[in-house]
Amino acid sequence: MSLPPLVEPAAELTVDEIRRYSRHLIIPDVGVEGQKRLKNARVLCVGAGGLGSPALLYLAAAGVGTLGIIDFDTVDESNLQRQVIHGVSDVGRSKAESAAASIREINPLVNVEIHNTALDRDNVREIFSGYDLIVDGTDNFATRYMVNDAAVLLGKPYVWGSIYRFDGQASVFWAEHGPCYRCLYPEPPPPGMVPSCAEGGVLGVLCASIGSIQVNEAIKLLAGIGEPLVGRLMVYDALEMSYRKIKVRKDPNCVLCGENPTVTDLLEDYEDFCGAVSVEAQEAVVDATITAAELKEWQDAGKDIFLVDVREPAEYEIVRIPGSTLIPKGEIISGEALAKLPQDRQIVLHCKSGVRSAEALAALKAAGFRDAVHVQGGVLSWIKQIDPSLPAY
């Protein structure tokens, strides 16, 4: 369905703007009027990472008058494979600052507002209230639900995107005209069920595919042209090179935007709502957690341990802790790998950061391996504390 323009047009375009945006101006559906609306628009991009990079670049190039960037992270070398708004010289720099510099290089006519902070319950309303449209480039469920809830409560539309390996999704959520994110996903998935990009990887160019779709939807909303993805979920498979659209209806029983909402304010703790790790894992790690330094002491002392790496084979090929045996978490959770584990040696589990090993530890405890422990911080802690020469990923 077509929707009215989200913003009013600016008073005029300068001669420089007419020259810069000439290819927009000669498109009948955009024209001078549409470009004036883009000039007058204020768009916030949540995240300057995989999706935020192409989104910010193309929003800037399109002439969106004010771009807000919220990101508290710094540029890491592993980001450069997909986060094209940053360069080698930006490694270690604030992502928000790095992105702002790239935007100014592309289009100095754009006003950039930097929010070099973590988005949380205390600041999300204030930050969102200053913008017409939100572009969601987040990579975790806790922030996604918070972005959705704040947008609904403030009456703001937002463009959502998600990427993983070769698959991408995009939609527009605007409770005033269609469903919200909770209508599509009423509850977050169980902890550990959906791997993050850091755990499962993502094809770099997929970010550009989904990020450009997000910008396309943003432009349509701002200028009031075409049919935005309100009430539709676009699913993209890069390996099959296929697109399909799924209808998403507004849920009359939605706890947030339904007929009788029960969620009328932001949640107290979105991390708790989404559950970084399961209750079983939280209980399992109590008095069963060691540090990377303790693991090294055990190894040096010749303690009889069986060190298990619960990551995936591709991760194991990149970097591994010496002496570890690869048994992916899924094989432990399913029970398939239990027969491979010795009964007469202490089992020590680790993953990349400690989340997956905690889940695997819970399964082992339930199976009777009472003395099993896991390494807090996993491979990342080993690299930081023991061997900085190993590649972080």
Give tens-digit pLDDT for 316-364.
Answer: 999 999 999 999 999 999 999 999 899 999 999 999 989 899 999 999 9
pTM of the predicted structure, to 2 decimals? 0.83
3-state DSSP assignment of residue 306: strand
Asked whether residue 375 falls in the same domain as residue 268, the answer is no
Phi, psi dihedrals of residue 302, rounded to the nearest 5°: 75, 25
Share of the chain above pLDDT 70, in %: 97
Sorting pLDDT into bands at 50, 70 and 90, what band is 191?
A: low
Please check the confidence at residue 146 and state whether its pLDDT lies above 90: yes
Asked whether residue 304 falls in the same domain as residue 246, the answer is no
Whether 120 maps to a domain, the answer reads yes
Angle between helices 52-62 and 204-223 (to 10 degrees): 40
Asked whether residue 301 falls in the same domain as residue 283, the answer is yes
Please check the confidence at residue 192 and state whether its pLDDT lies above 70: no
Q: How many domains does the chain have?
A: 2
**pLDDT mean across residues, the chain:** 94
Asked whether residue 223 falls in the same domain as residue 133, the answer is yes
Asked whether residue 239 falls in the same domain as residue 376, the answer is no
Mean pLDDT of 287-299: 96
Residue 31 has a pLDDT of 97
Task: Give the residue with greater pLDDT, 334 vs 190.
Answer: 334
Please check the confidence at residue 297 and state whether its pLDDT lies above 80: yes
Whether 393 maps to a domain, the answer reads no
Taking only the tens place, the pLDDT of each residue in 21-50 is: 999 999 999 999 999 999 999 999 999 999
99-108, 113-122, 171-180, 187-196: segment of lowest average pLDDT = 187-196
Catalytic residues: 197, 351
Please check the confidence at residue 199 and state whether its pLDDT lies above 90: no
CATH of the domain at 308: 3.40.250.10
Q: Which domain holds residue 254?
A: 15-274
Asked whether residue 226 falls in the same domain as residue 316, the answer is no
Question: Which of 215, 246, 274 delimits the end of a domain?
Answer: 274
Q: Where are the alpha helices (DSSP H) in 107-203?
A: 124-128, 141-154, 181-184, 197-200
Sorting pLDDT into bands at 50, 70 and 90, what band is 258?
A: very high
CATH of the domain at 132: 3.40.50.720
381 and 340 Cβ atoms separated by less than 8 Å: no
Question: Which of 274, 306, 328 delimits the end of a domain?
Answer: 274
Asked whether residue 357 falls in the same domain as residue 268, the answer is no
Please check the confidence at residue 213 and state whether its pLDDT lies above 70: yes
Asked whether residue 171 falls in the same domain as residue 201, the answer is yes
Task: Give the residue with greater pLDDT, 355 vs 246.
Answer: 246
Please check the confidence at residue 379 and state whether its pLDDT lies above 70: yes
Mean pLDDT of 254-262: 95
Asked whether residue 170 falls in the same domain as residue 309, the answer is no
Whether 225 maps to a domain, the answer reads yes
Whether 1 maps to a domain, the answer reads no
108 and 138 Cβ atoms separated by less than 8 Å: no
Whether 9 maps to a domain, the answer reads no
Please check the confidence at residue 1 and state whether its pLDDT lies above 80: no
Q: In what order do the strands lie in the sheet with 66-70?
A: 111-115, 66-70, 42-46, 133-136, 158-164, 167-173, 232-237, 242-247
Whether 311 maps to a domain, the answer reads yes
Asked whether residue 37 falls in the same domain as residue 171, the answer is yes
Question: Which of 231, 258, 274 delimits the end of a domain?
Answer: 274
Mean pLDDT of 89-107: 97
Asked whether residue 173 falls in the same domain as residue 322, the answer is no
Asked whether residue 119 falls in the same domain as residue 83, the answer is yes
Whether 10 maps to a domain, the answer reads no
Rounded Cα distance between 345 and 326, Å, is 16
Residue 193 has a pLDDT of 65
Which residues neighbour 153 within 8 Å (Cβ) at sequence distance 6 or greater? 125, 264, 265, 266
Whether 339 maps to a domain, the answer reads yes
